[in-house]
């Protein structure tokens, strides 16, 4: 541990650069996954066939080993190649499933009687979505973003293999040099980043979970 | 029961057409099972009609045919003289107050927002909504200052139902639909709310179609009481005549009431 502290202190500027790259990779990927996954999750609750398709594809994407996915993307024009773009595309695909799945589950878990009450008061389908379904599902949706962020922070370390930068650079250097200290200089900050993201998004999810929403702590359904 | 003396329809011209008219209306599930069949019934502009019957008799289905949560598969239902099929469902629902048991309030919104919801959907100005919410919460005995910012789960069952009634009245709809609104309450709270409801609805001159399985409640609140059985309207009588009806289903219900009658 002393070696690690000395290494990090000596290379502070570079460590911060790599950490910054890492956060940008993950931030863009999770942002894109949320922008795509939220509407997909909502659409999946509206149509049975789309539901099966969307959840199926997202599930399959999740099962592709990450190093292989990076490899597959290298020859793909525009999205692929060597560098950060490819890494962001791959990370987005991984981040998609938890967000789609939680959005879908969060809306599906709402008591149908609440939905009917909202309709019966004269809400349009759009108002039902924005005023009832999304607010009630918000806690679970953010929980999905949280899982997506934690997964992406881990997988992004592999992105260094295709030249995308990030903390993985140290891990691969350390592997090549057979130097534990250098490996840890990449792995430890990445793990800490994941823990921080997990804690922060966990807090947000709890704050956004209204009483009466699916997944709310207790006293959910007054009898 | 002084209100029984009132005519079913108001004297003024606007009120001369019934608030709701079922015209041989029927509703069936996809498997062909009829939930409501051949229902013909009018609710006058200032009248409260209560439908009683066992679970599964088609009472709730009949209510949902009025605000287009369901559409009749035969016959028609007219609201304000116009067939529901010709109404935009959203517009129809915003002018029809709907009170249901328990889950009707949106759990993530404060009491104030729940009550102001329909006016908000109708695009009222903020100040007008606030004034209306204050007025209604006062009316149901839950002043905004104390209760306005609570969430539904922070209220008792009776308080929630009061909020439900306030919400249904918020946009001043000519018609109220009530689906066992007091069903989950303890007997004392229930009796209180029934009394408040009767004063409120009659005082405001609303038409109301009310569904319950409790005959005592039906007789206390209804100008007329209809008995539903197997999806059909088996009998409809004024509240006074009801106990003398010789229809079997009405007699069966009246029999359940005898004990309560001696007690009360």
Please tell me if residue B93 touches chain A, with a CB cutoff of 8 Å: yes
Q: Minimal Cα–Cα distance from A127 to chain B, Å?
A: 9
Nearest to A114 among B92, B103, B157 (CB): B103
Q: A216 pLDDT exceeds 80? A: no
Split at pLDDT 50, 70, 90, the class of B103 is: low
Mind listing the pLDDT tens digit for each residue in B26-73? 999 999 999 999 999 999 999 999 999 888 899 999 999 999 999 999
Given a cut of 60, whether residue A151 has pLDDT beyond it is yes
Interface predicted TM-score (ipTM): 0.81
Give the minimum alpha-carbon distance from A195 to chain B in angstroms, rounded to a whole number.
30
- Sequence ranges of the domains in chain B: 20-95+175-263, 105-172
Instruction: Note the pLDDT tens digit of each residue in B202-223.
Output: 888 899 999 998 888 999 999 9
Please give, rounded to a whole number of angstroms, the shortest distance from the CA of B262 to a CA of chain A: 32
Please give the Cα distance from A178 to A166 (Å, whole number): 19
Write down the CATH number for the domain with range B20-95+175-263.
Answer: 3.40.50.300
**A154-161 average pLDDT score:** 92
Does pLDDT of A215 surpass 90? no
Give me the mean pLDDT over the B229-242 stretch: 87
Q: pLDDT tens-digit profile of B117-142? A: 999 999 999 999 999 999 999 988 89
- Residues in chain B closer than 8 A to A113 (CB atoms): 100, 103-104
CB atoms under 10 Å from CB of A217, counted, come to 10
- Antiparallel, parallel or unpaired: β B20-28 and B207-212: unpaired
Query: What is the model's pLDDT at position A74?
Result: 85
Q: CB under 8 Å to B180, separation ≥6 — which residues? A: B100, B101, B211, B212, B213
Mean pLDDT of chain B: 86
A to B CB pairs, distance under 8 Å: 67
In chain B, residues with a C-beta closer than 8 Å to the C-beta of A118 are 106
| Residue keyed to tokens 């006016």 | B119
Predicted TM-score of the model (pTM)? 0.82
**Minimal Cα distance from B122: which residue of A?**
A122
Condensed to tens digits (0 to 9), the pLDDT of residues B247-262 reads 787 777 777 765 444 4
**Residue keyed to tokens 């609570």:** B150
Residue of B nearest to A220 (CA): B153
């Amino acid at each position: 541990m002393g070696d690690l502290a000395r290494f990090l202190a000596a290379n502070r500027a570079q460590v911060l650069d790599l950490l910054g790259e890492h956060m940008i990779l993950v931030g863009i990927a999770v942002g894109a996954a949320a922008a795509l996954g939220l509407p997909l999750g909502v659409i999946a609750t509206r149509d049975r066939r789309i539901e099966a398709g969307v959840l199926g594809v997202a599930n399959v994407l999740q099962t592709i080993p990450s190093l292989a996915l990076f490899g597959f993307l290298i020859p793909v024009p525009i999205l692929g190649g060597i560098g950060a773009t490819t890494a962001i595309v791959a990370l987005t695909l991984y981040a998609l499933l938890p967000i789609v799945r939680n959005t879908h589950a969060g809306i599906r878990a709402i008591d149908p009687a609440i939905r009917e009450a909202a309709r019966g008061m004269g809400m349009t389908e759009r108002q039902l979505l924005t005023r009832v379904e999304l607010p009630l599902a918000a806690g679970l949706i953010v929980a999905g973003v949280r899982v997506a962020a934690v997964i992406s922070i881990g997988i992004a370390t592999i992105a260094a293999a295709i030249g995308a930068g990030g903390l993985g650079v140290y891990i691969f250097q350390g592997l090549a040099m057979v130097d534990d200290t250098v490996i840890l200089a990449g792995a430890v900050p990445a793990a800490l980043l994941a823990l921080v993201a997990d804690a922060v998004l966990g807090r947000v999810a709890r704050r956004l979970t209204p009483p009466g929403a699916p997944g709310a702590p207790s006293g959910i359904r007054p009898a | 029961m002084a209100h029984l003396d009132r005519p079913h329809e108001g004297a003024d011209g606007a009120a001369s057409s019934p608030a709701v008219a079922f015209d041989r209306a029927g509703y069936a599930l996809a498997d062909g099972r009829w939930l409501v069949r051949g229902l013909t019934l009018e609710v006058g502009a200032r009248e409260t009609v209560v439908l009683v019957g066992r679970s599964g008799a088609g009472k709730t289905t009949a209510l949902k045919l009025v605000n287009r949560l369901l559409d009749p598969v035969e016959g028609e239902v007219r609201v304000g003289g116009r067939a529901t099929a010709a109404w935009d469902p959203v517009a129809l629902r915003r002018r029809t107050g709907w009170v249901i048991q328990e889950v009707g309030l949106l759990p993530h919104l404060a009491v104030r927002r729940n009550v102001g919801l329909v006016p908000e959907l109708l695009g009222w100005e903020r100040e007008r909504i606030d004034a209306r919410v204050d007025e209604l919460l006062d009316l149901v005995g839950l002043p905004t200052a104390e209760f306005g910012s609570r969430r539904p789960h922070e209220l008792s069952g009776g308080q929630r139902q009061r909020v439900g009634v306030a919400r249904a009245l918020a946009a001043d709809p000519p018609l109220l639909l009530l689906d066992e609104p007091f069903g989950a309450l303890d007997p004392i709270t229930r009796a209180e709310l029934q009394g408040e409801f009767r004063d409120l609805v009659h005082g405001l001159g609303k038409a109301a179609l009310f569904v319950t399985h409790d005959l005592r409640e039906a007789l206390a609140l209804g100008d007329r009481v209809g008995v539903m059985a197997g999806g059909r309207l088996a009998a409809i009588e004024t509240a006074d005549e009801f106990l003398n009806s010789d229809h079997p289903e009405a007699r069966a219900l009246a029999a359940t009431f005898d004990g309560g009658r001696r007690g009360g």
